Structure formats: structure tokens, C-alpha cells
Amino acid sequence: MSKLLRVAPPAELTPAATRRRRARSGSFGVLDIGSTKIVCLIARVEGDGKPRVLGCGWQKSRGIKGGNIVDLHEAEQCIRAAVAQAEEAAELKLSGAIVNLSCGQPSSRLMTIQWPIGGRAVTDADLRAVLGESRRRAADEGRETVHATTLGFTIDATPGVEDPRGMMCETLAAQLHLVDAASASLRNLGICLHGCDLEVEELVSAPYASALSVLVEDERQLGATVVDMGGGTTSIAVYGEGHLLHTAQIHVGGWQVTNDLARGLATTIAHAERIKTLDGSALDGGDDAKAMVTVPQVGEDDDHLVTIPRSSITNIIRPRIEETLELVRDRLDAAALGRDAGARVVLTGGASQLVGLRELAAQILDRPVRLGRPLPLRGLPDPAQGPDFATTIGLVAWGAGEGRPLLDIDPGQDRGNGRFARFVNWLRDRV
């Protein structure tokens, strides 16, 4: 469970310093559990405060669909293999890892808590009480709050306070951003990782991790929306004034495009993926009707090929991409963030590399769009530096202290009362 909102003594910190607070000491591991691949990186923060990758391993996903574990045995085997590769390269053994949160239909909400202070100074206990109250209000049957950050405080009538401890007031108001997920999915994640002899050291929202790896500082402050188009899901993270304001997840990704092609062209999934990569486009090209593509037919001999115009491929791909982008637009409209969401959209993830996607996204979302590539990470092989590794690289950035809030309030003993926390403790005691 993520150790969010731990109270620390007030300090004079620059914006860059606040982002680098509480970096991991020594080596640490991150685990990106996705619908198409599982990636494990082992990294270390060096003297200049920046991370270096010591070991890397990845496997094609099995037993995972739409970000959720659907086959414990298959998923455990893939995770074990990826972790073993990274451990062998780094020459060390992991006991736990920072894990991306993409399972359990995670949902995002903003909440404002009013807390009476009574004219005295605000204490650590007050902040823990505010967090406890927010968790109680957010509690829903079968859901578990796994991520919480403070967006700011108001002292009586004075807004914009980042750290209220020690300040005198009658009423403290805190604005919080909470992310919760289905308890059953979190239990399955805990069981799977326990079977791999790994502890979940922290959970980090997958779109948040992607945002950390692809947004520049001006975008974080002015506002931007990151759309991570993965294999099985498309996730959304809205950033504004240096804070994560909203996340959402849609169960449509690049795999659905591949599946549409396999069905429409009567070819295998492997050939459909190759056709999508080499000849696929989200927009019609000038000569697509004339350019011809050969397509192997499923169940036929290798020499039995069908020739089709490239425009036929686009006609299969475009409706699915339009549907995905329209769902993204609807989710953003429903969040009603307005100007806080910023004027720019940053596309990342493996499916974002489809030709013409940027232009189509600009049309449907009615915003400027750029393609986001993660910032270079030292020690990471070049094939793992692309947009399809945005979440993984963002997890390493989080471990190095990037993006952590100024206040990190640890709810203390209350933290062990959640269903997921009790389940993890039960495993530790009995297994």
C-alpha cells in the first residue's frame, strides 16, 4: 500500500526540491504489470539525485486482461520471469517493488474536508484526522482507497496554504485527490506478488506514473492531460498547478485494434499486429487506395495470400481509434475540470505511435496534441526508452522522489484497518 501523506517537519524547499523529496535510498525495484507486457526494473539513485537502471527484465503478459489479473498461475509465472531477468542483470535479490495500479477499475475523486481547530495551532494529529475523515467518506462497498494526495489547504479564509502545521486558525479546510480500486482485485494482486516472494512497497496510479515520465515542468504547472494508450487499456491523467487532479481508465487499447484487424482481414493475431505496425494508420493517405498490402489468411498455407488496398486497413482501424478518443473526451467532460485540465493533450503509450493518431486526436479532443516520449533514463536499453515504457519509467521517477507531494500524511494506525491492508498482514502472519 502506498505510504501517502506522511507528515514531515516543515522545510524551505524549492519546487524542484519538493519533487525530489523522500527518494529511495539504495537500490529499489519497480514492477509494471500491463495487459501486453510485464516489466521489472531495478534502479539506484546516484549522487546527483538521478536514477540509474541496474537491471531490466520483461515478458509478454499472460493471465492479465484489461489491467486485471484473470489467471493467477499464468500471471505469477510472467512476473517471476521478468523479476528474475532484472535480478540477474543487477546481481541482487528483490524483496519488494513499487507497483503500478491499473487493476480494480480505479476511480478518481476530489474531496474537500473541513476540520475544526478551535483557534490553536494545526498539528500532525489534525492532518492525520483529516485523512482519516476523507477515507471514511470515500469508503464504498468493495472499494479500497489506495492513493491520496493533498492539493492545498485553506486556513480560515486564507487559501493556497501548502503546509498548515504550526499555523493558528479556527477551521482547516483540505482539498484531497483520492484514487480507489476494487478490493477483490487488490487482493488478487497481493496473492500473485506474494507467490513471487515480493511485497507491494508502494502502489502508484499507472496514469500518474506515465505523466511523471512525459510531462515537462511547464505542462505540470499550466495544466495538461496525459492519455496513455496501452495494449489493453487507455488511461488518463490530468495535471494542473503541479498536482495530479484526476485519473480515469478505459478498457480499450491497442489490442482491440489488432483484434479488429484479425477479424476484418481473416488473418492471425500475429499477422494483424504486424500489419498494424507496418501499414496501419488512423487517417486516410493520398495513395492508400492504390497501395496494396498482402495479407496471409488464417488456416491457409503461407503461400495463400490476399491482396487488399491499404485504405481497407485504415477503414478498420479508424472507427476503433475514434471510439477510444470519444470515450476519452467524454471522461474529461464528465470530470468537469474546465481550465484546470489545461489546453494541451500529451499522447503516450505503445498504441500512440500509430500513424495519423496525433492528428485525429487533435480533431476529436479539440486541443493541441503532442506525442510524449519519456525522458531518457540512464542504464536503460534503447528499446525500453519509447512511449510504450512510459509507465515503467515513471515508476522509477517516483522511486527517485519525483512528483511526491510536499505533504505526505501517513495515516498511522488507521492505515492498517483497510481490507487490503488487513489481507496483506494476514498473509505475512500465516504464510
Over residues 90-124, the pLDDT tens digits come to 999 999 999 998 888 888 888 899 999 999 999 98
CATH class belonging to 107-180: alpha beta
pTM for the complete prediction? 0.85
Q: For a pLDDT cut of 70, what percent of the chain falls above it?
A: 88
pLDDT at 398: 92
- What does the alpha-carbon distance between residue 35 and residue 37 come to, in Å, rounded to a whole number? 6
Residues with Cβ < 8 Å from 104, sequence gap 6 or more?
68, 144, 181, 182, 183, 184, 185, 186, 189
Residue 105 cell numbers, joined: 477499475
Q: Which residue(s) pair with 347 in the sheet?
A: 227, 371
pLDDT at 415: 42
Does 4 score more than 50 pLDDT?
no
Least confident of 200-209, 220-229, 311-320, 406-415: 406-415
Q: 219-250 burial, b for 16+ CB within 10 Å, e for fewer?
A: bbbbbbbbbbbbbbbbbbbbbbebbbbbbbbb
Average model confidence (pLDDT) across the chain: 85
pLDDT at 408: 52
Question: Residue 253 — very low, low, confident or very high, per pLDDT cuts 50/70/90?
Answer: very high
pLDDT at 406: 53
Q: What is the mean pLDDT of residues 403-427?
A: 50
Least confident of 29-43, 62-76, 416-430: 416-430
Q: Which residue(s) pair with 113 in the sheet?
A: 174
Over residues 300-346, the pLDDT tens digits come to 776 778 899 999 999 999 999 999 999 999 999 998 887 777 789 99
Residues with Cβ < 8 Å from 88, sequence gap 6 or more?
55, 57
Q: At what angle do helices 390-399 and 206-214 cross, to 10 degrees?
A: 90
Over residues 203-214, the pLDDT tens digits come to 888 999 999 999
Residues of the chain with CATH 3.30.1490.110: 107-180
Q: What is the DSSP string of 263-320?
A: HHHT--HHHHHHHHHHH-BSS--TTTTT-EEEEEPTTS-TT-EEEEEHHHHHHHHHHH
- What does the alpha-carbon distance between residue 225 and residue 327 come to, in Å, rounded to a whole number? 14
- Is 174 within 8 Å of 115 (Cβ atoms)? yes
Decide which of 123 and 241 is more confident.
123
Query: What single DSSP character describes residue 109?
Result: E
- What does the alpha-carbon distance between residue 173 and residue 113 come to, in Å, rounded to a whole number? 5
- What does the alpha-carbon distance between residue 131 and residue 111 come to, in Å, rounded to a whole number? 11
Least confident of 91-100, 169-178, 396-405: 396-405
Least confident of 141-150, 207-216, 218-227, 277-286: 141-150
Query: Which class for 75: exposed (0-12), middle (13-18), buried (19 or more C-beta within 10 A)?
Result: buried
pLDDT at 41: 97
Q: What is the mean pLDDT of residues 274-295?
A: 86
Name residue, grid cell 501523506: 5
